[in-house]
Amino acid sequence: MELPVINNTASEATKSGCSASSCGSTNDQMGHLPEHIREKVFNHPCYSEEAHHYFARMHVAVAPACNIQCHYCNRKYDCANESRPGVVSELHHPEQAVKKVLAVAATIPQMTVLGIAGPGDPLANPERTFATFRSLAEQAPDIKLCVSTNGLSLPDHIDELAKHNIDHVTITINCVDPDVGAKIYPWIFWKNKRIKGREGAAILIEQQQKGLEMLVARGILVKVNSVMIPGVNDAHLAEVSRTVKAKGAFLHNVMPLISEAEHGTFYGMTGQRGPTHDELQKLQDECSGDMNMMRHCRQCRADAVGLLGEDRGSEFTMDKIEAMDINYPEAMKMRAEVHAAIAEELESKRVAKEAKVQLVSIEGIKAKPETRPVLMAIATKGGGVINEHFGHASEFLIYEASSAGVRFIGHRKTVAYCEGGDTCGDGESALDKSLKVLAGCEVVLCSKIGFEPWGPLEAAGIQPNGEHAMEAIEDAILAVYEEMRVAGRLEAKLDEQQKAA
């Protein structure tokens, strides 16, 4: 198969349809950013909350080795820095990886970012990592290149990263205190020696901080990922957030520890638990005063393909790619068209949002009564709209509606239990799981819902709602919240809460 060069048409189309500033600014979180930064993030699904509804990322698993050990990792499974547990299906050589990226770019036009995130540490495998980046920078210049590292050898690779125009780097920083680090990292491999405990953690921390400063000095965007480990670093992560912000990190992503015993990790085997939804949200809220927080991370596999939250990796195994008959010029045309259509949609959303803000200011302050916040769960397949059947949802997006507006809180994974048809009757245990992950939510909005789950949801205090199919998520949430207000369902509980207080 002769490999094409993907030209810049797609990204240019995107930019001309909608400048990066306007697209990026549809996300309030990004509104205050300078234009050159917004241009970098507007179509990166991890760096922009808005973008993650529209744009996809993919990872290529070219980096098998690691230079440290984390207590939450067993590389029989993916790197927990950037993954959820599950074996990497295939390890690739750089040439295979490039072939895969081009095939995915031709098949999934929304794919705008290629990341290398494991299954080991990309910078502990520099030849393979940079051979892949080098080739992609030449053959697919419209794809953003992204890397995620533990940071130990980061300072040695800054020039190389800058040379290939890799302007998104994630460093996993779980602590800035070696005593905390000693409880997370049993050893590091440094200058041909294994260094254990506090001494090893101190070197790792120093290298991470140095790497962060060097990247910022080069104008490279840095996201910091931290794994929240209750009782180990949970009380310390606010300090991590303050420290990395002061050094110029762009975004902080606090992720929950995943520690199932069957993964065979030290934490899994010793019963170390991960945080609850509430604990995670509390910490994210606490850190958000100091730092832009990422709340839409899906802890992707090191070979993930598709929108965040979906995994289309099995469609792109090497044997399937070899058998594909792709018309690359046609595919690239389609890619450009899709990017332009997304740009247009984002632009019209931005205009509508601005118009709404203006209307509110013209009408003056029609003070709305203060009402209590309500959590709502959304079933969606992407595009920023409610377009998933309740029984087909493998995750729910959680939003909080209040008199201050709507804010995204995070996502909760579940198990899709309905295989199709008009009823969702099977899979009782899967329904139980959905009921459990929806705890605390008062409404679930979906495109359709069968008769069977309706009763159990209502009994659990969660109102199913299929009336807003294909509507924009935030508009639908506001509409439902308003209905609840008019029906007196918000003040009533507020009174109860105030009495209780």
Interface positions, 95-134, toward ligand SF4 (CB under 6 A):
118, 120-121
Which position among 10, 46, 58, 73 is part of the footprint of ligand SF4 (CB under 6 A)? 73
Binding at 308: pick from ligand SF4, ligand CLF, none (beta carbon under 5-8 Å per type): ligand CLF
Alpha-carbon gap, residue 486 to 488, rounded angstroms: 5
Binding at 386: pick from ligand SF4, ligand CLF, none (beta carbon under 5-8 Å per type): none
Instruction: Pick the closer one to ligand SF4 by CB: 21 or 170.
Output: 170
Give the shortest CB-297-to-ligand CLF separation in angstroms: 3
Give the CA distances from residue 225 to residues 28, 128, 303, 371, 392, in Å, rounded to whole numbers and listed in that order: 21, 23, 18, 34, 30
Give the CA distances from residue 18 to residues 112, 335, 342, 472, in Å, rounded to whole numbers and listed in that order: 16, 16, 9, 20
| Bridge partners, residue 251, by sequence | 223
Binding at 146: pick from ligand SF4, ligand CLF, none (beta carbon under 5-8 Å per type): ligand CLF
Is residue 146 part of the contact set for ligand CLF (CB under 6 A)? yes
Alpha-carbon gap, residue 50 to 255, rounded angstroms: 19
Give the shortest CB-196-to-ligand CLF separation in angstroms: 28
Is residue 148 part of the contact set for ligand CLF (CB under 6 A)? yes
Instruction: Pick the closer one to ligand SF4 by CB: 46 or 104.
Output: 46
Is residue 68 part of the contact set for ligand SF4 (CB under 6 A)? yes
3-class DSSP assignment, residue 223: strand
| Bridge partners, residue 395, by sequence | 413
Q: Work out the burial of residue 24: count CB atoms within 10 Å of its CB; fewer than 13 is exposed, 13-18 middle, 19 or more buried.
A: buried
Is residue 150 part of the contact set for ligand SF4 (CB under 6 A)? yes
Alpha-carbon gap, residue 256 to 280, rounded angstroms: 7
Binding at 298: pick from ligand SF4, ligand CLF, none (beta carbon under 5-8 Å per type): ligand CLF
Is residue 307 part of the contact set for ligand CLF (CB under 6 A)? no
Give the shortest CB-61-to-ligand CLF separation in angstroms: 12
Is residue 46 part of the contact set for ligand CLF (CB under 6 A)? yes
Sequential DSSP letters for 320-343: HHHH----HHHHHHHHHHHHHHHH
Contact range with ligand SF4 by CB under 6 A, out of 76-84, 189-197, 262-270, 409-417 = 76-84
Strand order across the 193-196 sheet: 68-69, 187-190, 193-196
279, 231 Cβ separation under 8 angstroms:
no
Is residue 300 part of the contact set for ligand CLF (CB under 6 A)? yes
Is residue 298 part of the contact set for ligand CLF (CB under 6 A)? yes
Largest CA distance in the chain: 72
Alpha-carbon gap, residue 454 to 303, rounded angstroms: 37
Residue 71 corresponds to which tokens in the numbers above?
């207590």
The size of the chain, in residues, is 501
Q: Which of 296, 299, 328, 327 has its CA nearest to residue 311? A: 299
Binding at 70: pick from ligand SF4, ligand CLF, none (beta carbon under 5-8 Å per type): ligand SF4
Is residue 136 part of the contact set for ligand CLF (CB under 6 A)? no
From residue 325 to residue 364, what is the string marking binding to ligand SF4 with x (rule CB under 6 A)? ----------------------------------------
User: Sign of the CA dihedral 158, 64, 264, 316?
Assistant: positive
Name the DSSP letter for residue 472: B
Q: Which residue bears the tokens 């590292």?
A: 149
Q: How crowded is the C-beta side of 373, counted as CA atoms within 13 Å? A: 12
Give the shortest CB-263-to-ligand SF4 separation in angstroms: 11
Instruction: Pick the closer one to ligand SF4 by CB: 57 or 263.
Output: 263
Is residue 70 part of the contact set for ligand SF4 (CB under 6 A)? yes
Binding at 73: pick from ligand CLF, ligand SF4, none (beta carbon under 5-8 Å per type): ligand SF4
3-class DSSP assignment, residue 176: coil
Interface positions, 67-86, toward ligand CLF (CB under 6 A):
82
57, 45 Cβ separation under 8 angstroms:
yes
From residue 101 to residue 120, what is the string marking binding to ligand CLF with x (rule CB under 6 A)? ------------x-x-x---
Binding at 297: pick from ligand SF4, ligand CLF, none (beta carbon under 5-8 Å per type): ligand CLF
Which position among 25, 43, 107, 170 is part of the footprint of ligand CLF (CB under 6 A)? 170
Alpha-carbon gap, residue 393 to 92, rounded angstroms: 31
In this structure, the number of other CB atoms found within 10 A of the CB of residue 404 comes to 11
Name the DSSP letter for residue 295: -
Is residue 299 part of the contact set for ligand CLF (CB under 6 A)? yes
Which position among 11, 14, 27, 81 is part of the footprint of ligand SF4 (CB under 6 A)? 81
Residue 358 corresponds to which tokens in the numbers above?
């203006």
Contact range with ligand CLF by CB under 6 A, out of 33-41, 71-79, 295-303, 315-323 = 295-303
Residues contributing to the site for ligand SF4 (CB under 6 A): 66, 68-70, 73, 75, 79-81, 118, 120-121, 150
Residues contributing to the site for ligand CLF (CB under 6 A): 46, 57, 59, 82, 113, 115, 117, 146, 148, 168, 170, 253, 297-300, 308
